[in-house]
Structure 1
Amino acid sequence: MQVVVFTIGDEEFAVETSKVQGINGLMKITKVPKAEKYIKGLINLRGSILSVLDINLLLGMNISDENNNNIIVLELDGEQVGITVDHVEEVMNVEEDMIKRVHEDKNKPFIKGLINLENRILTMIDIDKLLQ
């Protein structure tokens, strides 16, 4: 399978490319009054209005979003949403047996496993569970 690798702070994450519709630079995000805290706002992407979510809050990370440089557009249940990330690193091939399952944590059921590479570890995210 192919995954998109991205960073938030000094941590690296991966998400399956089958869920990714596109990767864009950061653009103007229009705030939505009284929206949930994890909703950063709305963007106009080639004529389509998309919600942009703060993945830092969804992952339970206390990291500033000052360094967000990219928006990853995801397809979930027939709907497109964007998540802000610091940087998209690469697209890489990963074998299923490279993903080491972790004990299911009730507080973090969205972690599919860890991918241990030679010089780094990626956290594989089940984006469907994260955005439920």
Structure 2
Amino acid sequence: MQLVIFKIREEFFGVEASKVLSINDMMTVTKVPNAPSYIKGLINLRGIIISLFDISILLNLNHNSYDNSTLKDSSIIILDIELEEIGIMVDKVDEVIDIDPNLIKRSIDTKIPFVKGVLELNFKLITVIDINKFVPKDSEVS
């Protein structure tokens, strides 16, 4: 299994490389009125309108979400989630690695449903994200 490793502030995260469509520099974000706080807005990527998620909020990281001063230095990872494209904001894309999926230890924190588990690699603790759980199914939307 290949993982794309990225940083948000000082923490490392990973997503399955098979879900990554592209990695882009920050671009113009159009705000969406009344959107949840974790939706930064919409981006236009080659004519396709994509929702941009601030996953630092979804992951309950103990720091401020992205603001205008940190936004310009961020990157966007475009992901394919069950035939829908979304963007996630990250500070830096670190590397792409091959790992044995058995090295991922299941997370004991069930409060965050997006976390698949953790991986210790090269003295880094990497939180592996289950990216399919970011977008609710039609039946879960009320």
Normalised to the residue count of structure 1, the TM-score between the two structures is: 0.92
For 1:82-97, what aligned pairs fall within 5 Å after superposition? Answer: 82-97=87-102
| Partner SS, residue 28 of structure 1 | coil
State whether structure 2 residue 82 is matched by structure 1 residue 77: yes
Give 1:72 deviation, angstroms. 0.5
State whether structure 2 residue 131 is matched by structure 1 residue 130: no
Partner of 2:5: 5
Give 1:128 deviation, angstroms. 1.1
State whether structure 2 residue 107 is matched by structure 1 residue 111: no
The runs of at least 4 aligned residues of structure 1 exceeding 4 Å deviation read: none
Partner of 1:59: 59
Q: Distance in 1 between matches of 2:82 and 2:89?
A: 19
Give 1:71 deviation, angstroms. 0.3
Give 1:100 deviation, angstroms. 1.5
- What code does the residue aligned with 1:129 have? K
**Structure 2 gap segments, 5+ residues each:** 137-142
CA RMSD of aligned residues (A): 1.4
Give 1:62 deviation, angstroms. 3.3
Structure 1 window deviating more from structure 2 (42-51 vs 111-120): it is 111-120
Percent pairwise identity: 47
Give 1:111 deviation, angstroms. 1.4
Q: Distance in 1 between matches of 2:122 and 2:22?
A: 28
Partner of 1:22: 22
Give 1:130 deviation, angstroms. 3.5
State the Cα deviation string for residues 61-103 of structure 1 (Å, max 9, x = none): 1333226510000111211010101110011111112212232
**Structure 1 gap segments, 5+ residues each:** none
Partner of 1:45: 45
Q: Distance in 2 between matches of 1:102 and 1:37?
A: 25
Q: Distance in 2 between matches of 1:38 and 1:111?
A: 16
- What code does the residue aligned with 2:3 have? V
Q: Distance in 1 between matches of 2:48 and 2:24?
A: 14
